[in-house]
Chains A and B, each alone.
Chain A
Amino acid sequence: MTIQNKPAANKNLDSIRKTIANHKRHDFIFASLGTLVIASLTITLLILFLDLVIDGYPRFNLDFFSNFPSRRAARAGILSAWIGSSLVLLVTFFVAVPLGITSGVYLEEYAKKNWFSDLIEINVSNLAGVPSIIYGLLALGLFVYSFGLGQSILTAGLTLALLMLPIVIVSTREAIRSIPVHIREAAYAVGATKWQVCRNHVIPYSYGGILTGVIIGMARAIGETAPVITIGALTFIAFLPPSPIGLEPPFINFDWLESGFTVLPIQMFNWISRPQLAFHVNAAATGAVIIMLTLLMNGFAIKLRYNIRKKIKW
């Protein structure tokens, strides 16, 4: 009996081995495919960066940063654009960060779990999914015309702040959520009020996580173009807004908030849209500046988050 069965069993074993080898081959093929896809994505990112740097290389000099845009491509620079971007981001920062953090603290620490907090929550996650150009339309209807702020730095800063807000709220909430309850309980046990717990414990401990969100949000705001175009920002600006810091008292003035402006991505878009190739070089150089800023900021944020995750104390 056993002797007769042996060839059959062998045959069976062979087919099983074949099947296993086949399946292992599938594994290998898929793993290679995955590696290939990820490698090509990485290479795309590299090409994107190198292409901009190589194309824009002839314009990397001090003049490019200290000249106004000009009809002659070789003399045009991004002075008004980078100053405009900085001032707009200043407004964005001072609006979005306090609002985002307090909103996050409210949702995480104060809000009772009911339909109302659910409503706010749904709203926050919906806002994160609204296309950025819709914020531009909101700003055009509300800030520019209803509030009469015009096409100013203030309007652009507020618009980008709206875009950044959901990012700050979400990161604040995530950071707060990772703080264990016993820290709060310990503070309550020695008689702290709710706000004291928040101010002295919850907010300081979630500082790193919030900072990560703020940096990512700011990096996004730097490159955001569509909403700023929609509010009607000018594309050719050959003047600077009034300086925020004066030489005479009170040293700080806010006239710049009402000034016209342009920002880096709009300057880049303007140069791409022109038919002359010489301007495309300028566009590439501007793009290289933008992408370097965003990559640096995002890289810093990622590193920061990694560090926080590594040295959590509790």
Chain B
Amino acid sequence: MNPENDLIISQRLAKNFQRNFRERLIEFGLLCSGLIAIFITLAIVYVLVSEAIPFFQHVSIIDFLTDTVWTPNYSIKHYGILPLISGTLTTTGIALIVAVPLGTITAIYLSEFASHKVREIIKPILELLVGVPTVVFGYFALMLVTPMLQKIYPDLTTFNMLGPGIVMGIMIVPYIASVAEDSMRAVPMSMREGAYAMGATRFQTAIRVITPAAISGIVAAYILAISRAVGETMIVAIAAGQQPNFTFNPVESAATITSYIVSVALGDLEHGGIGYQSIFAAGLTLLIMTLLINILGHAVRKKYAERY
């Protein structure tokens, strides 16, 4: 054996070891940042639950779910989440009434009717609409939409759920449109060609062939829209008033779960106080609601998933 050769080999092995060690180290570092998503999820659940537990020791969970009065700031305190849920559901409902037809029409138009050129112009505009901050939409609801509605319906109060609901609808149209359009464009061309070959018009193809084929994606778009609307904060905090009110009447003012959290956070937060704990209980309710909506969406998508 040549001793010089041995030296080279051992040097190489040492280098190899170094190199492998460095690779492992980097992989470990990357793994740590890959785990951040799990860590955040766990932290959310932990913080909400651990702060909500003392709240539920103070307020029984049955009162929380069945009491129709939410007056944490009054001398006689009531903690019934129902008024906040009714506000959340009403604004979400109005938003969906606006956004579902508009979003679906936009999606069908963009995917089946619009030329390539038109689509290239419209899609960026929709994306810009997604980028508009919600606080600006809130201003829009309070200063522009509600006064306009008051001209049609003079009894409307300055703070109501109708105006912010409509604005929220406009806000979520692009979400529905882009997700639904993606799923429609994913329907294979052969299905369109088949329909056209049978003499179907564009409209017939869109409604009877493409929409049923893409229904799981369209439902996913609606689900996304619902969870956006349920979690939307600033529009309702600005324009719906922040007074909890157990009603489904859109012309009344009301608070949603999110706007309640904002109104408490704006005041003096006493760490560990019941007011402080109540926003975590409200937040936990919100998280469970969005979770249920997402699970429902997942189930619906699975049921109607089309295989081509």
Q: Which of B44, B127, B170, B174 has the most CB of A within 10 A?
A: B44
The stretch among B4-12, B210-218, B223-231, B247-255 that forms the contact with chain A is B223-231
Contact A223 B113 (CB under 8 A): no
B274 shortest CB reach to chain A, Å: 15
Cβ-closest chain A residue relative to B242: A273
Contact B113 A41 (CB under 8 A): no
Contact A169 B37 (CB under 8 A): yes
Kindly state whether residue A66 has any CB partner on chain B within 8 Å. Answer: no
Q: Which of B37, B43, B203, B269 has the most CB of A within 10 A?
A: B37
Interface 1/0 per residue, A263-292 and B, CB below 8 Å: 001001100110000001001100100110
Contact A269 B287 (CB under 8 A): no
Contact B234 A123 (CB under 8 A): no
Contact B43 A124 (CB under 8 A): no
Kindly state whether residue A107 has any CB partner on chain B within 8 Å. Answer: yes
Contact A133 B280 (CB under 8 A): no
Q: CB within 8 A of B30: which of A105, A124, A135?
A: A105
Contact B266 A45 (CB under 8 A): no
Q: How far is the CA of A207 from the CA of B124 in the complex (A)?
A: 21
Kindly state whether residue A206 has any CB partner on chain B within 8 Å. Answer: no
Q: CB within 8 A of A229: which of B173, B201, B265, B287?
A: B265
Residues in B103-140 with C-beta less than 8 Å from chain A: 105-106, 108-110, 113-114, 122, 124-140
Contact B126 A41 (CB under 8 A): yes
Interface 1/0 per residue, B37-48 and A, CB below 8 Å: 110110110011
Interface residues on A, range: 35 or more
Cβ-closest chain A residue relative to B138: A272
Kindly state whether residue A259 has any CB partner on chain B within 8 Å. Answer: no
Contacts of B139 in A (CB 8 A): 52, 268, 272, 283-284, 287
Contact B144 A51 (CB under 8 A): yes
Contact B133 A134 (CB under 8 A): no
Contact A110 B224 (CB under 8 A): no
Interface 1/0 per residue, A209-234 and B, CB below 8 Å: 00000001001101111100111100
Cβ-closest chain A residue relative to B223: A129
Q: CB within 8 A of B109: which of A34, A44, A48?
A: A34
Interface 1/0 per residue, A33-68 and B, CB below 8 Å: 111011001101101100110010000000000000
Residues of chain A whose beta carbon lies under 8 Å from any beta carbon of chain B: 23-24, 26-27, 30-31, 33-35, 37-38, 41-42, 44-45, 47-48, 51-52, 55, 98-99, 102-103, 105-107, 110-111, 119-120, 123-124, 126-127, 129-138, 140-142, 145, 162, 165-166, 169, 193-195, 216, 219-220, 222-226, 229-232, 235, 265, 268-269, 272-273, 280, 283-284, 287, 290-291, 294-295, 297-299, 302
Going nearest first, the 6 A-B pairs with the smallest beta carbon separation are A223-B133, A131-B231, A34-B109, A141-B47, A106-B34, A226-B233
Residues of chain B whose beta carbon lies under 8 Å from any beta carbon of chain A: 19, 22-23, 26-27, 29-31, 33-38, 40-41, 43-44, 47-48, 50-51, 102, 105-106, 108-110, 113-114, 122, 124-140, 142-144, 170, 173-174, 201-204, 206, 224, 227, 230-234, 237-238, 258, 261-262, 265-266, 269, 271, 279-280, 283, 286-287, 290, 294
